[in-house]
């Protein structure tokens, strides 16, 4: 709810925003309920810190309440909320700056002179469902996403994790459509490589047990 | 014939179904003779799926939910 857009949900959201703008403060509660999980989750996936995400969620909710009159309806309300969430999260991250992301280039696929793939490609896609319940796998996935450079990470989280459309992501981040696509593709290539390394190691470990 | 590099560069648009049909056809033609690319496509798709399943399960802890509720209550009236 809230960010997924079936028609009724969208109509309700628009009404709540109008009501809040008109001074009906009880709609704040409902808007908070609709949006808080998404705000918290996005912030948590960027900071990986429960206290920061709680702070961010409070700040964003308060901004929604106090600044609702500045929302002009030029973009979707949810895009506005996402933007505020990202700004608040980046402020948090800046206050404890440590850049642990690594170069994405090192993990992009490599080709020979005629453009054919150079590495042996293992297809691990068949056997991963059961591994999802494994804490180690989940941690590896989280760590890999944490390592993405900010620009690629935010596109990946909004597009692939939140499931927003390319158009919506371009609206939220004020990026061109080709820029969104290219960042998403780079993020996926990076993560694919990270997961490939992990699953290969996992397989070896299992076979030698 | 189109090479692996070109195929992988077009992979995002191929999976979105936004390529011209003839371009899409040449990718598929390439895939037929290229097991490494098929493995690549499968694992590329799985990557998004695995990350989504893992990260979208983030829930607000109950205690935090309670505190947020109080926070909203307090600010609504003030």
Dump pLDDT digits (tens) for A151-187.
999 999 999 999 999 999 999 999 999 999 999 999 9
CB contact at 8 A, A40 and A57: yes
Which of the four pLDDT bands, split at 50, 70 and 90, describes residue A1?
Answer: very low
- Contact yes or no for B56 and A161 at CB 8 A: yes
Token pair, residue A108, equals 């992009």
pLDDT at A97: 63
Helices (H), A48-176: 50-66, 77-95, 135-147, 150-156, 166-173
The yes-or-no verdict on residue A53 having pLDDT over 60 is yes
What's the average model confidence in pLDDT over B15-39? 94
φ, ψ for residue A117, nearest 5 deg? -65, 140
Indicate the range of A6-10, A15-19, A129-133, B15-19 predicted with least confidence.
A129-133
**Mean pLDDT, range B13-20, rounded to an integer:** 94
pTM for the whole structure: 0.86
Q: State ipTM.
A: 0.91
Q: Name which of A104-118, B4-18, B31-45 the model is least confident about.
A: A104-118
**Residue range A64-77, pLDDT digits in tens:** 999 999 999 888 99
Asked if A145 and B51 come within 8 Å (Cβ–Cβ), the reply is: yes
Distance from CA of A203 to the nearest CA of B (A): 15
Q: Is the pLDDT of residue A52 over 80?
A: yes
Res. B49 pLDDT band, cuts 50 70 90:
very high
Q: Which residue has the higher pLDDT, B16 or A129?
A: B16
Do residue B75 and residue A65 have CB atoms under 8 angstroms apart?
yes
CB pairs under 8 A between A and B: 138
Q: Higher-confidence residue: B77 or A139?
A: A139
Contact A116 B5 (CB under 8 A): yes
Work out whether the CA dihedral A178, A168, A141, A198 comes out positive or negative.
Answer: negative
The residue behind tokens 């453009």 is A115
């Amino acid at each position: 709810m809230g960010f997924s857009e079936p028609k009724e949900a969208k109509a309700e959201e628009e009404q709540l925003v109008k009501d809040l703008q008109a001074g009906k403060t009880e709609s704040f509660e409902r808007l908070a309920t609709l949006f808080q999980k998404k705000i918290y989750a996005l912030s948590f996936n960027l900071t990986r810190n429960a206290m920061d995400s709680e702070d961010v969620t409070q700040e964003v909710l308060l901004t929604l309440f106090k600044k609702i009159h500045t929302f002009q309806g030029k973009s979707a309300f949810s895009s506005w909320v996402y933007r505020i969430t990202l700004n608040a999260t980046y402020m948090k991250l800046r206050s404890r700056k440590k850049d642990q992301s690594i170069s994405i280039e090192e993990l992009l696929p490599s080709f020979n002179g005629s453009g054919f793939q150079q590495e042996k490609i293992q297809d691990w896609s068949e056997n991963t469902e059961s591994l999802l319940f494994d804490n180690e796998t989940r941690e590896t996935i989280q760590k890999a996403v944490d390592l993405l450079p900010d620009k690629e990470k935010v596109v990946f989280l909004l597009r692939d994790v939140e499931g927003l459309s390319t158009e919506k992501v371009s609206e939220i981040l004020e990026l061109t459509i080709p820029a969104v696509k290219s960042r998403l593709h780079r993020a996926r290539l990076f993560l694919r490589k990270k997961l490939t390394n992990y699953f290969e190691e996992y397989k070896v470990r299992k076979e030698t047990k | 014939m189109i090479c692996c590099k070109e195929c992988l560069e077009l992979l995002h648009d191929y999976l979105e179904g936004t390529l011209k049909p003839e371009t899409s056809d040449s990718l598929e033609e390439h895939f037929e003779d290229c097991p490494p690319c098929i493995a690549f496509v499968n694992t590329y798709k799985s990557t998004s799926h695995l990350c989504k399943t893992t990260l979208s399960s983030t829930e607000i802890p109950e205690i935090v939910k309670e505190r947020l509720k109080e926070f909203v209550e307090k600010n609504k009236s003030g």
